[in-house]
Amino acid sequence: MERGGTRGFLPPFAHFATQAIHAGQEPEQWSSAAVVPPISLSTTFRQQAPGQHAGYEYSRSGNPSRNCLEKAVAALDGAKYCLAYASGLAATLNITHLLKAGDTIICMDDVYGGTNRYFRKAAVKMGLNVVFVDCSNVKCLEAAITPETKLVWIETPTNPTLKIIDIQACADAVHKHKDVLLAVDNTFMSAYFQRPLSLGADICMYSATKYMNGHSDVVMGLVSVNCDDLYERLKFLQNSLGAIPSPFDCYMCNRGLKTLPIRMKQHFHNALAVARFLESDSRVEKVIFPGLPSHPQHELIKRQCTGCPGMITFYIKGSLKHAATFLKNLKVFMLAESLGGYESLAEHPAIMTHSSVPKEDREALGISDTLVRLSVGLEDEEDLLKDLDQALKAAFAECKA
């Protein structure tokens, strides 16, 4: 990994590792001068006189542990503000509450299944209109915007087919229209590989459960913004809706950030090795990994990102039986939902993470019975490749018998 940039990608964001360790962590903010921020479990805080507090009054409204985390994430996103929530979907809910009945949301057609489910089955019941559009084609996005459009929601890379969306082009299209917000789900990339706000997005959100925490032991959402008014509106909703993370979870995620640069570099290294192995294997129909030159938007991701995460999808040759047998025979990769932890995971989107997406939509998006999604972890490269090879052998041996 070259210091000036990896394989033609953008150079790393300056001072990222230092900010991950020190931003928002100043020992001077604690009477004990603790180097590691303590966990503040208190739900309430003493006031010197009625209405005179030292910055905190009730833990839903603000908490020292959450404040530390929010400051750190804001720095890593190159943002002015960050807000933490109880989950990624809680963050999505809060953003959606910026809108009113009759407003329209344009959502990328290929998104996390939970986002699709929330917009399709919950948001519409609040009187919001939701249309799903292939935002990787900016002309499709432009054609879909109406006077009622108030929010455009994209994720890049998309989940699970890993399309890359030109954030700057989308921002330019969206901001031709007054009072339309562009939100980018940055979960797959993490702050280490992509900064949506610097590319023109109004909102950068995460399921911090994934790479930002990185240890598969916290469920959390994060939202970063630069606009003062937008922050105040979201801060009001954070307090009013109350979907906040616990102080302990804030401590855990804050700790996870300290190793984010090291983890993401290794995720990229291992994923590239896995993608190359799968692409050369005759038992695999197609590999989708933005870090490969074969990805149709490989040049785009190099223009807007500093690298690639550990997410790979591929089509195994054969049928559902081949895919299921492959997944059941994995030993190092674990058959489980979620992603972005230190451990390698594998799943079947059509049956697992995206089962709530209507079947006809799944088929149109390419989420077929032979599509497998991998979250490549931090294990030894050799062990990962051996595991994939033996599981592929087992799949074709059993299905042939």
Distance from C-alpha of 198 to C-alpha of 292, rounded to nearest angstrom: 25
Q: Rounded to whole angstroms, what are the CA distances from 224 to 153, 210, 264? A: 15, 16, 20
Distance from C-alpha of 137 to C-alpha of 150, rounded to nearest angstrom: 19
Whether the Cβ atoms of residue 277 and residue 285 lie closer than 8 Å to each other = no
**Model pLDDT, residue 3:** 46
> What pTM, to 2 d.p., does this model score?
0.96
Q: In tens digits, what is the pLDDT along the chain, a chain of 401 residues?
A: 444 456 799 999 999 999 999 999 999 999 999 999 999 999 999 999 999 998 999 999 999 999 999 999 999 999 999 999 999 999 999 999 999 999 999 999 999 999 999 999 999 999 999 999 999 999 999 999 999 999 999 999 999 999 999 999 999 999 999 999 999 999 999 999 999 999 999 999 999 999 999 999 999 999 999 999 999 999 999 999 999 999 999 999 999 999 999 999 999 999 999 999 999 999 999 999 999 999 999 999 999 999 999 999 999 999 999 999 999 999 999 999 999 999 999 999 999 999 988 899 999 999 999 999 999 999 999 999 999 999 999 999 987 76
Whether the Cβ atoms of residue 221 and residue 84 lie closer than 8 Å to each other = yes
Among 71, 150, 163, 210, the one annotated catalytic:
210
Q: Active-site residue 3, yes or no?
A: no
**Model pLDDT, residue 398:** 80
Distance from C-alpha of 74 to C-alpha of 180, rounded to nearest angstrom: 22
Among 56, 81, 85, 112, the one annotated catalytic:
112
**Model pLDDT, residue 7:** 75
Strand pairing category for 311-316 and 284-288 = antiparallel
**Model pLDDT, residue 401:** 61
Which residues are CB-contacts of 252 (< 8 A; sequence separation ≥ 6)?
Answer: 213, 215, 217, 218
Distance from C-alpha of 259 to C-alpha of 191, rounded to nearest angstrom: 12
Q: Active-site residue 369, yes or no?
A: no
- Give alpha helix (H) positions in 214-246: 228-241
**Model pLDDT, residue 399:** 77
Distance from C-alpha of 213 to C-alpha of 255, rounded to nearest angstrom: 8
Can you give the C-alpha Rg of the chain in angstroms? 21
Which residues are CB-contacts of 104 (< 8 A; sequence separation ≥ 6)?
Answer: 128, 129, 130, 131, 146, 148, 149, 150, 151
Distance from C-alpha of 235 to C-alpha of 94, rounded to nearest angstrom: 9
Distance from C-alpha of 266 to C-alpha of 378, rounded to nearest angstrom: 6
**Model pLDDT, residue 381:** 98
Among 110, 185, 202, 369, the one annotated catalytic:
185
Distance from C-alpha of 249 to C-alpha of 252, rounded to nearest angstrom: 5
Q: Active-site residue 112, yes or no?
A: yes
φ/ψ bin of 230: left (φ > 0), alpha (ψ from -120 to 50), beta (otherwise): alpha
Distance from C-alpha of 72 to C-alpha of 21, rounded to nearest angstrom: 8
